[in-house]
Copies of this chain bind each other. A is one copy, B any other.
Amino acid sequence: MKIRVYYEDTDAGGIVYHTNYIKYCERARSEIFFSKGVNPFEDDNSGFVVRKIECDFLGTSKLGDILTIHTKTEEIKRSSLTLTQWITKDNKTIFSMKILLAYMKNAKVARIPEDIKNIIIPS
């Protein structure tokens, strides 16, 4: 998934505000579902929530840059999912994140449905 850096994404330092990289990764996760015709939050009572993130800020980007967001599934458990996501600019990694997501249904941790699992692990 490719993303353009717009004015709204930058801060007074002229570079992308740090939390925006985390947002870009969330866009990429959603796009995986949208591209399969699935709305990841269509049913308000179930979906993934973020439990833990570990982020390394390795480089910067500025207005007009084109960034590529990469996503790799690390582990799928019964009700949780660990991904690595990283962002490159001109093939250089400027951000990487390990993220743990929990699947929730009616505000409780729940088993990840098989059809959702199949979208996450393309086979």
Counting CB contacts under 8 A, is A114 at the interface?
Answer: no
Task: Report yes or no: A39 in contact with B55, Cβ–Cβ below 8 A.
Answer: no
Counting CB contacts under 8 A, is A51 at the interface?
Answer: yes
- Cα A62 to Cα B12 with chains together (Å): 8
Q: Could you say how many copies of this chain the assembly holds?
A: 4
Write the chain B residue with the least CB distance to A39. B64
Interface residues of A (CB under 8 A from B): 4, 6-8, 10-15, 17-19, 22-23, 26-27, 30-31, 34, 39, 41-42, 44, 47, 49-57, 62-64
The 8 closest A-B pairs by CB, nearest first: A10-B12, A19-B19, A12-B14, A39-B64, A18-B50, A6-B27, A54-B54, A19-B22
